Amino acid sequence: LGAIVNLIINAIFIPRFGASGAAFGTLVAEFFVTSYQIYVLRDFLKEIVANVKLCKNIISTLLATILVLIANTLFISNISSLFMVLVISAIIFGLIYGLVGLLLKEEFTMYLLHYMKK
């Protein structure tokens, strides 16, 4: 589905817009693929959403985001490579999110911990 949509949009937009047309075609194709996957998995996704405890996830995300922003301001901003800033920020975010998830005994974090122990 995605490849067909991408091919059609690319055929229309690349001659006129070049690389921007190709990027737009890819964006539209990915939108169609994601929409199709959500449609196919709709019952499964409803079950997942019903079981998610949002409060613990929001606390973990907010705390991890705040600490990444502080680290970026104090330490990471001196790094010239955007890729390295992204990698370091992702590592800090993942560690903080996981730690807070463990402290709050968030269900998904506990599942991952149990899975890694196997």
The residue extents of the domains of the chain are 2-44, 52-117
Asked if 101 contacts 60 with a C-beta cutoff of 8 angstroms, the reply is yes
Report d(CA 49, CA 51) in Å as an integer.
Answer: 5
> What's the pLDDT band for 56 if we cut at 50, 70, 90?
confident
> What's the pLDDT band for 17 if we cut at 50, 70, 90?
very high
**Pick from 36, 12, 42, 40: which is nearest to 24 by CA?**
12
Residue 55 has pLDDT above 80, yes or no: no
Tell me the Cα Rg of the chain. Answer: 20
pLDDT of 24: 94
